[in-house]
Structure 1
Amino acid sequence: MSLSLIGIIFVQSFFINNSLENENKNFTLSVKRALSFVSRDIEEFELRDYFLKIQPLIAQNKTPDSTLLQQLYIESDDDINDRTIIHRNTVLEERFKVPSMFFEIDADSITISTLSNDRVTKIYDNANLDGSRRIAPQQTLTEYSNMPELRKQMFENSFKTLLKDIPIYKRITPIEVRILLERELSGEGIDLDFEFSVYDDDLATKVQTQNFDKKNAFHGIPIFLDNNNESSYTLWLDFPDRKKYLLSSIIKMIILSVVFTSVIIVAYSSAIYQLIKQRQISQIKTDFINNMTHEFKTPIATINLALDSIKNPKIINDQEKVKRYLGMIKDENKRMHAQVENVLRISKLEKNELNISKERLKLHDIIEDAMTHVELIVEDRQGYINTHLGAVKSSVLANETHFTNVIVNILDNAIKYSHNAPKIDVYTENIGTNIILKITDQGNGMSKQVAKKVFDKFYREHSGNVHNVKGHGLGLAYVKRIIDDHHGHISVESEKGKGSTFIIKLPLIS
């Protein structure tokens, strides 16, 4: 069971850790993809802005400052169809001078080129007998284009060179970067607070958020690449709550895993607890049977000896001895009956089958009555019982018989567990609406571990197979059940070798 439980916990931990790593990888890929789009958008945004600024200037100056015309002719013969095909491709480059104020350079103006393309295809029939072609073409195909893609690429190459030396904070603002980042991250399904900064090599620029910390930077990507795809500027991104975000993505799985694992641990712990408890119960039952056997063994042996003596012809005619032996048999029989009654009484108490009627009684009277049951034993052992009945009020609602048995049991324990002459003091006092009864002895005492279990049924302090103290662990269990039924409370204070004090608290009645 232990190995299986450890294996389950290990597998769950491995699975959760693996899921977390996968979420981290997916998150990293999404962020990299979003940053690459942002880098592209930043460049396109800047180039489009300058392109839109240049276009009106070119449109106002309709006459180019210079032109360059390039033509390409290609002639091919189609022998199958007996015709000649002539291709002509003309490229017109018009150069316009515009002010350089947008690019913050020293020159007064810069030259911007626009391209247009004229493609003509003519097809001639070779109809003459001598093979010469007709003067007029049979078919003419003409295509005109402004070549926007090529012109755009030319603009971009020129702009990148011109813009390279402009400070970064004049090329892009933090607000624009944030807007682009939010848009692209949202497109990747990442709705998380972030911090960013643009660095020029290892130096921070003004394009950054207030709380950005380079130490926690998650990922960086170059921006404003030149014509060689190189740049000194890097956009760094940081997510302060990245770990919480990753955990939140698998929190349901973690909770379910913890819940089910906890259930298994609880079930496992319960099973172990039950095994230990059953073992303890088994040991207690064994001790109980041994003690009960010992308790019955002496009376049975006494009865057998008495019966054997009565059978003796010399004694059977002696009336006094016969009466004596019969009295012994009766006493021992009563003793065994009392042991059985104790067991049955506890069983009935647990099943709430024992009817305990209560009436108004003086606790001091019950104490005096209980003392008469044990005073001869105490005197025989040359001990004493002193009373210190300081309570002014002692009226309680109690069952006289059972509560007398309670006090007798405690006094009997104090006598039995005193190797020397028993020295017992009984105290009473009023505290609020309660009366406190303390029975103190100077006997053997008990350890704190034993004191915690002394009211458990069948429990006796383990002393091996030595039965120097008679009993079977039911007396104090019975005491506690009776006091609980009287809405009272009992506790014990004890120290090994120095004696014990049993404290009973009962509610007073007016």
Structure 2
Amino acid sequence: MNKKLFLLLIVLMSLSLIGIIFVQGYWIKSTVDDKEEQFSFNAKQVLINVSKELQNKELENFWFEFNAAGNADTTLNDISLAKYYKLDKNSLKNSKDLIPEEDYKASSDFLITAQDSIQFAILINKKMNQLFGNEEASNRKLTSQERINKLMGMKDAEKEMLSAYISEYSSRIPIHKRLTEETIATLLTRELENYNLNTEFEFGVYSNSLATKVHSDNFSVDYPATYGVPLFVDLAGNSNYQLLVNFTGKKKVVLSSVTLMAAMSIIFTLIIVIAYSSALSQLIKQRQISQIKTDFINNMTHEFKTPIATINLALDAIKNPKIICDQEKVTRYLNMIREENKRMHAQVENVLQISKLEKNELDLKKERLHLHEIIEDSITHIELIVEDRNGYIKTHFGALKSSILANQDHLTNVMVNILDNAVKYSEDEPKIDIYTENVRNYIVLKIRDQGTGMSKSVQKKIFQKFYREHTGDIHNVKGHGLGLAYVKRILDDHHATINVESEKGKGSTFIIKLPLIT
């Protein structure tokens, strides 16, 4: 696949996935906002209903109490009110909080005034007579049951007027005498059930922004989910009290309604993300493998091309009648053919060994060895090449203990591979220093060269099979990308680790850490 097309597909797929995630997040947020708005609307309706219920309850409770059996002849005055609220009658007579008086109008737009509570009681009873009919004209007083029936049959405007009369007296009563925490809690619970709001709550009654004695145990005015409604509103729409309610379970109620769908949406989105990431990773790996295989074939072709050409030339030379009679030249060409054949065999053997290592079929027999001796033996394999290029290999053995459990042939190959890379990637004279030291129960080997070095990205990949750094000319350094992969697998089998420290243009240092044996 074309590289630009491949990148375009990745960008389009990524943008589509990001778009899906954004849409899902926006949908979830919008749903939560809608649920919060719906909760707020229902909560306000609950409080409005509770406020109305409390106001009606005060009117009805008082009226039923006032008209109970034996009270048919009782009129509304300070004494009857004090009896109802279980107060000292002087507590009302000493109050000066009276509302100015205006004439009553049929539209219910009225206010009442009086100089004292006695005059106000007279006005109250006068208006009540207007509501319940002129009892004197009928030459009899209404029974308590008849007055209750009259109350139940009142129009809303009439009830509001009567409520205003009674509220005028009640407004001078402390709020904790008019309301109880149990009453408010019961009404709130009932209304919340009617609106299917399964939430906990705390509440408090405030008088002109000042706390009163009527509140639940854990109420706090600073709670974020606090809603308020006025209590005991007069006909002019004014109120001295506010009921504030904290819905402590608001978040739970809102989220519970969208949790299932949101969870499913998130799970499916995660599955898509994981599947996309996995597919993209596989695509990139397959593309890399395809490129690596192409490089490998090119390298192997190059590696075999030279010995095959050399063998062909040697055979052609032997066929020459002048050469075939020269035993010395024939022997030379035959040795050349043998060496090139061994070289090709070694290439094939490396590939087979890597294949066996991948399948865990390579049986490594280990024995007690001295690492310093293995290093010295490995140096002999490449020292002639180093000397031919006017370089050097120096050893700095600082380790006092070097006994390890290893396979001699394979560990020697490991050292030779690393040293061979140090020589191949040195543009000038190869300069190689080998250090050893003991660190606790390990021996640490460092092989340092002054070659071309490598970048950070290359350092992460050099131990991968078939990987070779691209330098513009794929054959500028001979090899097929198997050497360091082989090194890594052999060292893993020896319970050893290998790392590389390198900087572009300043050489590389391979660090091998092997466990010691006693």
TM-score, normalised to structure 2, is 0.78
2:146 paired residue number: 146
Match among 17, 28, 33 for residue 45 of structure 2: 33
Distance, in Å, in 2 between the alignment partners of 1:411 and 1:98 is 113
**Which secondary structure state, in structure 2, belongs to the residue aligned with residue 464 of structure 1?**
coil
Match among 284, 296, 300 for residue 292 of structure 1: 300
1:59 paired residue number: 70
Distance 1:315 1:197, change over 3 A: same
Q: Higher helix share goes to which structure?
A: 2
1:480 is the counterpart of 2:488: yes
1:468 paired residue number: 476
Number of matched residues? Answer: 451
1:181 paired residue number: 188
How do 1:136-175 residues align onto structure 2 when only pairs under 5 Å count? 146=146, 148-151=148-151, 153=154, 157-164=161-168, 165-166=171-172, 169=175, 171-173=178-180
| Percent pairwise identity | 56
Letter in 1 for 2:162: S
Match among 165, 170, 190 for residue 197 of structure 2: 190
Larger radius of gyration: 1
**Which secondary structure state, in structure 2, belongs to the residue aligned with residue 397 of structure 1?**
strand
More off after superposition, 350-359 vs 183-192: 183-192
How do 1:351-500 residues align onto structure 2 when only pairs under 5 Å count? 351-500=359-508
Tell me if structure 2 keeps the 8 A contact 1:460–1:473.
yes
Q: Please report how far the alpha carbon of residue 167 of structure 1 lies from its aligned counterpart in structure 2 after TM superposition.
A: 5.8
Q: Higher strand share goes to which structure?
A: 1
Tell me if structure 1 keeps the 8 A contact 2:375–2:412.
yes
Letter in 1 for 2:461: K
Tell me if structure 2 keeps the 8 A contact 1:386–1:426.
yes
Q: Please report how far the alpha carbon of residue 242 of structure 1 lies from its aligned counterpart in structure 2 after TM superposition.
A: 2.5
How do 1:257-336 residues align onto structure 2 when only pairs under 5 Å count? 257-336=265-344
Tell me if structure 1 keeps the 8 A contact 2:78–2:117.
no
Distance 1:284 1:244, change over 3 A: same
Tell me if structure 2 keeps the 8 A contact 1:217–1:236.
no
Q: Please report how far the alpha carbon of residue 238 of structure 1 lies from its aligned counterpart in structure 2 after TM superposition.
A: 3.8
Letter in 1 for 2:149: E
Letter in 2 for 1:32: K
Distance 1:14 1:387, change over 3 A: closer
Letter in 2 for 1:255: A
Distance 1:489 1:261, change over 3 A: same
Distance 1:12 1:289, change over 3 A: same
Post-superposition CA distance 1:165-208 (Å, at most 9, x none): 436725435554344223322443333343445566x7456356
Unmatched segments (≥5 aa) in structure 2: 1-12, 86-91, 94-115, 136-144
More off after superposition, 359-368 vs 313-322: 313-322
Distance, in Å, in 1 between the alignment partners of 2:441 and 2:395 is 22
Tell me if structure 1 keeps the 8 A contact 2:167–2:232.
no
How do 1:66-85 residues align onto structure 2 when only pairs under 5 Å count? none
Tell me if structure 2 keeps the 8 A contact 1:310–1:322.
yes
Tell me if structure 1 keeps the 8 A contact 2:47–2:229.
yes
Tell me if structure 2 keeps the 8 A contact 1:117–1:147.
no
Q: CA RMSD in A?
A: 3.1
1:507 paired residue number: 515
Tell me if structure 2 keeps the 8 A contact 1:446–1:500.
yes
**Which secondary structure state, in structure 2, belongs to the residue aligned with residue 405 of structure 1?**
helix
2:3 paired residue number: none
**Which secondary structure state, in structure 2, belongs to the residue aligned with residue 41 of structure 1?**
helix
Distance, in Å, in 2 between the alignment partners of 1:466 and 1:187 is 80
1:50 is the counterpart of 2:56: no
How do 1:115-126 residues align onto structure 2 when only pairs under 5 Å count? none
Distance, in Å, in 2 between the alignment partners of 1:284 and 1:226 is 88
Q: Please report how far the alpha carbon of residue 288 of structure 1 lies from its aligned counterpart in structure 2 after TM superposition.
A: 1.1
Letter in 2 for 1:411: L
Distance, in Å, in 2 between the alignment partners of 1:173 and 1:213 is 19
2:79 paired residue number: 99
More off after superposition, 15-24 vs 273-282: 15-24
Distance, in Å, in 2 between the alignment partners of 1:243 and 1:307 is 89
